[in-house]
Every structure is written in structure tokens, then in C-alpha cells.
Amino acid sequence: MHSPSRPHGPDTTRGTLRRRLLRWLGGLPFLPLGLTAAALPAGAAPLRPTPEDDIGPFYPLDWNGDIDGDLTTLAGATGTTVEGALLRVSGAVRDTAGKPLADAAVEIWQADARGRYRHPGVDPRTRDSAFQGFGRTMTDAQGRYSFLTILPGNYGTRPPHIHFRVAQPGRAEFVTQMYFRGNNREGNGYAPPEREALSVDVTPAKAGAPASATFDIVLAAR
């Protein structure tokens, strides 16, 4: 696991990340986000791994307490309702052969609707006290995961995003960020084509169901 105290601000990692993403984008066609693949037929070209992205400075320091897949309901936050538009984020974790990765831990953390993280470095008086802020779930036998959260607010000059970490015994941890297509503002040092590789479409909310986004993750071989 990455050490939360390690500096990971966008200014210190920008050049390395840009080079890594450019190398990745220069390769073969990749699996489009939102396309959940089955295991590939024999002889088929391997799937392109999802690009890594910076862990950022707000990785949660304490995973005790309420850390489930529903970030919209925080244990102990009575009489308050989470701010922002509800969002269901789901997808599947697979390897480059299309094989589902079962029992992998998937973590997310993000800003609330005010653009504030649930982190000791953020004044709790400035954030939404009803928002869980981060969560963890396990993939099922088909590699699927799901979180109920909200559309994150803008954090500084950065476009809205959700951080992801995937961990499975015997495999190197994977860290990336998910962005929202159509809301890729400038200001964080990444050119739009690079950021587009990690962007998803949001399906609007329908009666009785929140807005939704699919973020499939392809991990490189062990």
C-alpha cells in the first residue's frame, strides 16, 4: 500500500505521469471504458491495461468504522442528508486476457459536493458531515464491483474525479483516477487527450434510480 504520508501532489508527479500516459496512448487500441469484456477467445489480442494515475495527497489515513460501498450514508450522521447528486459507479476488474479478478479489494475516495475531502488535512467544518468520503468493496466471481456515491465537486483547479485503488494478494497494487467526460477542465497539467483515456460518460438519473457511470479496470499481468 502507498504510504499516506508520501507526497503525491499533482505538481510533483505531473511530468512522470504525462510520460507514462503518452507511452500508453501510443500503443494498440484499448478497451473502451464502459465495455465489460468476457474472457478473450484463444488467439485474441490482449486487452490494453488501464493507465495508472496519481494517488493524490488525500488517501484515507484511517480505514476503521464505516467504509462500505455506500458513501451516501455515514454511520452516526443522524438528521442530515448527503449533499450533491447521487451517482452509482460500477464496473468489472479483469486482467489483460479478459479473465475476471474475483475477491479483489476496490477502494475509492473523493471530494464531497463542496470539493472537500474527508481527511485530517481538511477542516471538518468546511465539508459535508453526512458524506462518508471513501469506501471499500470486494469484487464478485465475475470481477464486478459497485459503489453508491455522489458526483464530486471541483477540487481547486482540477476537474471532478474519483480515486481508485485495487489490491489483490500476489498482485501489485493499482492506483488510478476516474474523470467525467465533458467536464475535463484545464489546470491540472494534463492535456485533454491524456485525461480522456480515464473519462466516463454519466447516464442521467431516472425515476427511482441515481445517475450512473461504468468504469471497467484492466490490470496488467502479475
> How does residue 190 score in pLDDT terms, banded at 50, 70 and 90?
low
Give the model confidence (pLDDT) of 107-163 as tens digits. Answer: 999 999 999 999 999 999 999 999 999 999 999 999 999 999 999 998 888 889 999
Output the pLDDT for position 35.
44
* Nearest alpha carbon to residue 20 among 190, 204, 199: 190
Residue 177 has pLDDT above 80, yes or no: yes
Residue 7 has pLDDT above 80, yes or no: no
Which range (6-20, 93-107, 193-207) has the least confidence?
6-20
Domains and CATH numbers, the chain: 10-33+47-219 (2.60.130.10)
Q: How far is CA 155 from the centre of its chain?
A: 15
Q: How far is CA 135 from the centre of its chain?
A: 11
Q: Among all chains, which residue has been given the C-alpha cell 448527503? A: 82
- Asked if residue 162 lies in contact with residue 110, where contact means CB atoms within 8 angstroms, the answer is yes
Output the pLDDT for position 12.
36
- Asked if residue 188 lies in contact with residue 157, where contact means CB atoms within 8 angstroms, the answer is yes
Give the model confidence (pLDDT) of 81-92 as tens digits. Answer: 999 999 999 999
How do 134-138 and 171-180 pair as beta strands? unpaired
Output the pLDDT for position 108.
98
SS3 state at 10: helix
Output the pLDDT for position 155.
84
Output the pLDDT for position 219.
95
Output the pLDDT for position 192.
58
**Sequence-ordered alpha helix ranges (H) in the chain:** 10-25, 192-196
Residue 189 has pLDDT above 90, yes or no: no
Give the model confidence (pLDDT) of 27-43 as tens digits. Answer: 333 344 444 446 776 66
Question: Which residues have C-beta within 8 Å of that of residue 156, sequence separation ≥ 6?
Answer: 115, 187
Q: Which residues are catalytic?
A: 117, 155, 158, 161, 163
Which range (93-97, 116-120, 194-198, 208-212) has the least confidence?
194-198
Q: Where are the beta strands (DSSP E) in the chain?
A: 86-95, 105-110, 134-138, 144-150, 161-168, 171-180, 199-200, 211-214, 217-219
SS3 state at 19: helix
**Cell of residue 19, nine digits:** 510520460
**Cell of residue 138, nine digits:** 470486494
Output the pLDDT for position 75.
81
